[in-house]
Amino acid sequence: MNGEMKVGLFVLAGSILFGAALFLLGDYSFQSYYPVYAEFSDVAGLPDKATVKLSGVEVGKIKKIYLKENKVVVQLAILEGTKIYRGAKFSVGSTSVIGSKFLQVDQGLPALGYVQSGETVQGEEIMPLDKAVARAVASMESLVADIRGEGKLAKSFQEILDNLRDITTNVNEMVATSQPHAEKAMERMDTITAKLDSILAKTDEIVEKINRGDGVAGALVSDPKMKENVSQAITNLKDASASVKEALGRVGGFHTYLKWDYKYEPLAKGSRSDFGVKISPREGRYYYLGGANMANIKDKAKGTTYEPLNTIDARLGWEMGAFDVYAGVVRGSGGAGVRWRPFFNSKWDRFTLLAEGSDFGRNRSIKNRSFNDPRYDVGAEVKVNKYVSAGMRVNDLAEVKRVNYTTRVLFEDKDIAYLFGFAALGAAKK
């Protein structure tokens, strides 16, 4: 190999090394990146070319940091394929207290979508370490100044000590002043104790006389006949109190409710009302009597209705927890029904479901339509408050299936309840 070839190879190798150095130092890469811009008020010494870490994993680098009006803009280069969700937190992180800084990204929520190329995000504002240290040093200096007596803390301690001295002096004065009175009080306690001993001795004498049968009290205790009379009197008092309790129970045990149901039927373009009285002589049992489908039959009909107007309701019912079961005369014919409160004894106890069957032997024609099946009704209602409920019913499921919107008003009448109670008491005396 001649000298010219050696020189050529040396120049070629130097050129390759020089190009590689330029490539590395110039931050060139064969990977693809997309830009994201993060705005901060202070980047706390974050350097150019620092790394970007997503949840601790390096996913890019910082291309440029520059000022834009009153904000610091950090241009990030994120590796293609890296998905950063919106809502992610961008902040300045550090490998240690004095270590190198990097841009930390805490992942956002997938439901918010991705941060797009060229999008600007807001960085998390954190206090730089130097400012935090300076603030802590200032606080320590203020505390030391207070302890040395140059601030409010030392003055407060001095005031506390002065108050303690005053309190100690006052306590000493109180002890010196109250000592003679305390001695007199002890003397009085001795006198009271002696009197109590005397009273106890007399009490022992009285008890001994009673045991011997002396005096009225002794006779009550020792005389068998007197004992029997007293026992009989007590028994009579018990019987009398039981009778009074039963009488009061009859008077106060009745509960009477006035009920009004308003029903509107869209297909009939008209409304009807039910009026009645619910009488509950005791818990879990009630009677209901009233009028059903009350309407003026002379009113001109706007639509067709198959409801029997101006009929009677007379039912006997049982209330068993969440269920209300009743049977009797329903709209002028035999029937039965059940009301169910599915959320009984809970804060949602406002909802009631209804199922009712009646007119089981129906075989008639109403307004040129033949009715051969029994009548079945279902419905639901929601209690607005203790007096008012609203709901919907579907009447006559087996035949015409008419929807009715309902409103119920129910309130207790205690005056009528007392009248029924006194009437029941009078009947019991007879």
So what's the pLDDT on residue 22?
A: 55
Whether 200 and 142 share a structural domain: yes
pLDDT in tens, 351-399: 999 999 999 989 888 888 899 999 999 999 999 988 899 999 999 999 9
Q: Which of 57, 92, 126 corresponds to the end of one domain?
A: 126
So what's the pLDDT on residue 420?
A: 59
Whether 198 and 181 share a structural domain: yes
Contact 427, 419 (CB under 8 A): no
Contact 295, 310 (CB under 8 A): yes
- Domain holding 15, by residue range, is 1-26
Whether 110 and 202 share a structural domain: no
So what's the pLDDT on residue 191?
A: 79
Q: Which of 145, 172, 206 corresponds to the end of one domain?
A: 206
What angle, 0 to 180 degrees and rounded to 10, lies between the N-to-C axes of helices 152-212 and 215-222?
Answer: 70
Whether 310 and 232 share a structural domain: no
Whether 294 and 351 share a structural domain: yes
The tokens for 294 are 């009350």
Q: Which parts of the chain register pLDDT below 50?
A: none
Whether 122 and 137 share a structural domain: no
pLDDT in tens, 302-345: 778 888 889 999 999 999 999 999 999 999 899 999 999 999 98
Whether 220 and 190 share a structural domain: no
Question: Can you point out the beta strands (E) in 359-429?
Answer: 364-366, 369-371, 375-383, 388-395, 402-412
Cα separations in angstroms, 382 against 166, 302, 412: 70, 29, 19
Whether 144 and 188 share a structural domain: yes
The tokens for 147 are 């302890």
So what's the pLDDT on residue 281?
A: 81
Whether 269 and 367 share a structural domain: yes
**3-class SS of residue 198:** helix
| DSSP secondary structure code for residue 269 in this structure | T
Other CB atoms within a 10 A radius of the CB of residue 145 amount to: 13
Number of domain units in the chain:
5
So what's the pLDDT on residue 379?
A: 96
So what's the pLDDT on residue 338?
A: 96
Tokens 């408050």 -> residue: 385
Whether 321 and 179 share a structural domain: no
Q: Is 280 exposed, middle or buried (0-12, 13-18, 19+ CB in 10 A)?
A: buried
Whether 297 and 421 share a structural domain: yes
Closest CA to 52 of 86, 26, 79, 81: 79
Whether 178 and 223 share a structural domain: no
